[in-house]
Structure 1
Amino acid sequence: MDIVLEVFETFIGDRIYAGLLPLKQTQHTWSPLDLLSPLPNATWASMEEQAIQNYKWEPASQFFSVEPSQYAYMSRLPRDSAWRQAISLYFITWIFGLVIYFTVAGLSYIFVFDKSTMNHPKFLKNQVRKEIRQTMESIPIMAFLTVPFFLAEVRGYSKIYDTLPASSPFYLGGWWTFLQLTCRRIYMIHLGLHLPSIYKHLHKPHHKWVLPSPFASHAFHPVDGWAQSIPYHVFPFLLPLQKFAYIALFAFIQIWTVLIHDGEFYADNPIINGAACHAVHHLEFLGNYGQFTTLFDRLGGTYRKPGSEMYVKARGKKDN
């Protein structure tokens, strides 16, 4: 996330922090952010010089970087402040989470989702609006709970790397290992969320959508959605992963979450846990707890094979 943070700070954050917490005392009015960085008793020139000396820009990656403007040195809360990083990461996770959600779910709803589903008795009145509202309420809280992982990663506590170390062949399998290990852990967490004592408090809101639209993809109780994301965030603290791969996988996960809620059952594959498998999960409330594959459902005895009529209907629509 340090690459994303660098881009955000360069084009958005530097100007905001320079305006809210400027070095120049004569043009400053008090704000609550002063509690994070009290105004020093010094001249503008000395403060600017000290800020430039204290903060040294280092590119987040040798493959891609954006050099900061003078605004990066014009705030009392420097870029390398943990407080500033946490605040920026929160808004990045919240705002860009919504951007990805509305972009991918919106395109899926317009071009993929079968609108005739909305005529089914189990499709709730104003369901799409309710799905969006629940998502809008949950994402800010999920973002808040996720920030500690991103902050620790940005501050160098993870095993995320920029260039490929030649000393460890394990690094070459980062993508595949990530998908397999996270899928296993998500299976276990999802299964646990269906325990009666937990289900009624956390997971039940997501199962309101018996016939989900793409906008149901992120319509969780915030703790439910966050809990199922934990394996993704813990992985780079346990095993190495290239930082661009981490960003790409994070984006892929958001897209995949929409795809398994789009109601189009083209992936008639015994391995892939596609939309049909997940539709069975929503209809029966049990089985098919995996994220990407059916492997762990098969090993755990919780696999529910979608009926062939689901794929026949999908192929018929495709032919038309």
Structure 2
Amino acid sequence: MDVALEILDPLIFDKAYTYFIPAAVSNATTQTGLGATPSASSNSAWPRDNILRQCVSILVVTQVGATLLYWVFSAFSYYFIFDRRLEYHPRFLENQVRKEIISSMKAIPWINLFTLPFFLAEVRGKSFLYTRVEEYGRAWLGISTVLFMIWNDFLIYWIHRLEHHPSVYKYIHKPPPQMDYTNSMGGSCLPSP
């Protein structure tokens, strides 16, 4: 996410924050250094390292990214993989596809809110991510990738098992009765980080 913000700050976010959250008007008698031109990021009340700016930027990036991913892959799946004959099955509800799309679109912002603390910690340097492979070697890169996938699948499995516990199932995991293929918001948010 820090790489995404490094790319998007000068392209989009600096201008947007300067427009929507401008810096306070400074004293007209002060001067900047000779030949110095302030960057667009300095014209906003929120500098790039402001935690509120980082939160808003992360939420915008994840919302746009998740929505694009959803529409691209769900459209591909619907048109090329999904058996359209199922739409004529008696259990297929009226406007079911539309309802599932709406349900998914409502869930994406909540999933983004649940992942925000993890992305924010990564942007603020509180993660174990590294960019220079030479520090640890290519072998550790491969091993850590495999370990991450195993750990991630392990956590998703146990979170899903816990969601089926009788005391929390109907509150967190049970989808509405009209949905056949979608997860509930709680079922999507918990394994998202």
Q: Distance in 1 between matches of 2:191 and 2:129?
A: 21
CA distance 1:166–1:205, shift in 2 (3 Å): same
CA distance 1:48–1:192, shift in 2 (3 Å): farther
Structure 1 residue 142 corresponds to structure 2 residue 111: yes
- SS of the aligned residue for 2:190 comes to helix
Contact 2:114 2:192 in 1 (8 A): no
Q: Deviations over 1:157-199 (max 9, x none)?
A: 0001111144465333122112111111111111111112211
Structure 1 residue 227 corresponds to structure 2 residue 187: no
Contact 1:22 1:76 in 2 (8 A): yes
Q: Deviations over 1:215-235 (max 9, x none)?
A: x4xxx33332110223xxxxx
- One-letter identity of the residue aligned with 2:131: D
Q: Which one of the candidate residues 10, 27, 31 is aligned to 1:43?
A: 27
Structure 2 residue aligned with 1:133: 102
Q: How many residue pairs are counted as aligned between the two chains?
A: 189
Q: Relative contact order, CA 8 A, sep 6+: which one is greater?
A: 2
> Alpha-carbon deviation of 1:207?
7.3
Q: Which one of the candidate residues 172, 187, 190 is aligned to 2:142?
A: 172
Contact 1:23 1:48 in 2 (8 A): no
Q: Distance in 2 between matches of 1:150 and 1:3?
A: 11
Deviates more, 1:152-161 or 1:187-196: 187-196
Q: Distance in 1 between matches of 2:28 and 2:170?
A: 57
> Alpha-carbon deviation of 1:10?
2.3
- SS of the aligned residue for 2:154 comes to helix
Structure 1 residue 202 corresponds to structure 2 residue 172: yes
Q: Distance in 2 between matches of 1:196 and 1:70?
A: 56
- One-letter identity of the residue aligned with 1:90: L
- One-letter identity of the residue aligned with 1:7: I
- SS of the aligned residue for 1:79 comes to coil
Q: Distance in 2 between matches of 1:114 and 1:106?
A: 13
- One-letter identity of the residue aligned with 2:128: K
Q: Distance in 1 between matches of 2:162 and 2:111?
A: 19
- SS of the aligned residue for 1:175 comes to helix
5+ residue gaps in structure 2?
Answer: none
Alignment of 1:53-202 (within 5 A): 70-167=39-136, 169-202=139-172
> Alpha-carbon deviation of 1:107?
1.6
CA distance 1:167–1:179, shift in 2 (3 Å): closer
Q: Distance in 2 between matches of 1:110 and 1:14?
A: 39
CA distance 1:45–1:12, shift in 2 (3 Å): farther
Contact 1:189 1:227 in 2 (8 A): yes
Percent identity for Structure 1 against Structure 2: 33
TM-score w.r.t. the length of structure 2 is: 0.86
CA distance 1:95–1:114, shift in 2 (3 Å): same
